[in-house]
Amino acid sequence: MAQERQAAIVGIHEYPLRVAPGVSAMNVKVDSIRAALEDAGLQWSDIDAIYDAQDGEAGGGLQLAAYLGLRPTVLDTTQVGGSSYEFHAAHAMRDIAAGKCNVAVLSYGSTSASNRVAIGTGGRGMAGPANWAQNMELPYGSTLIANYAMVKQRHQFEYGTTDEQFAGISVATRHHAMRNPEAVKAMTDLQFVGVNEITTQDVLDSRVVADPLHLLECCMISDGGGALIIASADVARGCKKPPVWLIGAGEATKYRENHGDITTSAGAQSGPIAFAEAGVTPDEIDIAMIYDSFTITVAVCLEDLGFCPKGDVGAYVEGGRLAFDSGEGPALNTDGGGLSSNHPGMRGIFLLLESARQLRGESTSQVPGAQLAVAHGNGGLLGGTHTGGTVILAKD
């Protein structure tokens, strides 16, 4: 399929704080929307489409429209976990191409840190009416981290991937975080032990939270959020900053299956769809923004998106190619990622925000001449029911 340039990111804002006591999710969303509009040079009243993952306190989508005081002609409340924003971007692309809207807003706000939400280690309580999924899994005390850890365990068993190789993902990401003042402040405010560059050994020496995942292989839990504005080509041409084009998108789901392969994620389905639509290949990608809930998530998704064959990610990441200044590429999570910059629960929006910064030349770990980025979100549980959302972005 020929590459089309019908929709672009024209305004972005990442909420600067990762610890923001006394602030609501709705505060974060509205602050971010205002700032993203300002960045684009657009007006509040220009917004005609809202995409929302239902994260505001009073309920999502409908309540957000009412709170903002808007009457959008497109209202999309897709909630598929952390990859919701890649799904939103995919939907905004096609809604704009179909002429249903011209200026779409995506926003996220969360106060997970201030509210002490134990996302990874909280276990899962009986919530709502009895259901089959809870009845079959809750008795075993699995945690979110244990679910991802089971994927790492199987990957190591099948392909011999080592802890050292996984640790390389944490090391590269921290390298980028230390160059990002907001990430440094995040780690400081969240009282990280050692706000500094880390080594492979540091990762291996950090405590095991759920075998075989070490603490430094796990994302932080922060407050935060952000917003971005996606506009039609006509609107984009009149905005303040160069447009960052959305040129391909794919969506997929995956879940536990009898005889299924836990080391392959939904990205194996969403990735090829997105690359085919964009008309580009993984080896052309400069920036890989891949949801780093854990090292294993990045490892599996690099394989599934086609950066290397299944099982080869250990050798692929060895030698530090993922660092922005390695000269090899792709550069991974150049903002510092969920591991070391920002993870309030649903990181998908930050993948798009940093992709846009890179393709504008505004990153704190800028890859010179970056032309193409992929933002890949994984939502839900990598070793259970989850979604994959892939978006390919291009410099103007």
Partner 1 sequence: MAKRPQPQFPEPHTESFWEGAQQGELRYQRCDACEEIVFYPRQHCPSCGSQNLSWQVSKGEGTVYTFSVVRQNRMPGFIDLGAYSVAYIDLDEGFRMMSSVVGVDDPTKDIAIGQRVRVDFEKQEEGDYPIPVFRPI
Contact positions vs partner 1 (CB under 8 A): 118, 121-126, 130-143, 145-147, 149-151, 153-154, 157, 207-213, 256-260, 262, 383
Task: Report how far residue 40's alpha carbon sits from residue 286's, in angstroms, rounded to the nearest whole number.
Answer: 24
As measured in angstroms, the least distance from the Cβ of 193 to partner 1 is 16
Q: Could you tell me if 31 and 374 are in contact, meaning their C-beta atoms sit under 8 angstroms apart?
A: no
How many Cβ atoms from other residues are within 10 Å of residue 313's Cβ? Answer: 27
Task: Indicate the residue among 122 and 194 with the shorter CB distance to partner 1.
Answer: 122
For the CA atoms of 144, 146, 149, 150, the dihedral, rounded to the nearest 10 degrees, stands at -110
Task: Indicate the residue among 132 and 369 with the shorter CB distance to partner 1.
Answer: 132
As measured in angstroms, the least distance from the Cβ of 299 to partner 1 is 15
As measured in angstroms, the least distance from the Cβ of 191 to partner 1 is 17
135 burial class (0-12, 13-18, 19+ CB within 10 angstroms)? exposed
Q: How far is CA 205 from the centre of its chain?
A: 27
As measured in angstroms, the least distance from the Cβ of 152 to partner 1 is 8
Longest dimension (CA), the chain: 56
371 burial class (0-12, 13-18, 19+ CB within 10 angstroms)? middle
Alpha helices in the chain, H assignment, sequence order: 25-40, 62-68, 84-97, 132-137, 144-159, 163-177, 181-189, 200-205, 233-236, 267-278, 295-304, 313-317, 337-340, 348-360
Task: Indicate the residue among 158 and 396 with the shorter CB distance to partner 1.
Answer: 158
As measured in angstroms, the least distance from the Cβ of 143 to partner 1 is 5
Beta bridge partners of 249: 391
Q: How far is CA 218 from the centre of its chain?
A: 14
As measured in angstroms, the least distance from the Cβ of 259 to partner 1 is 7
As measured in angstroms, the least distance from the Cβ of 157 to partner 1 is 5
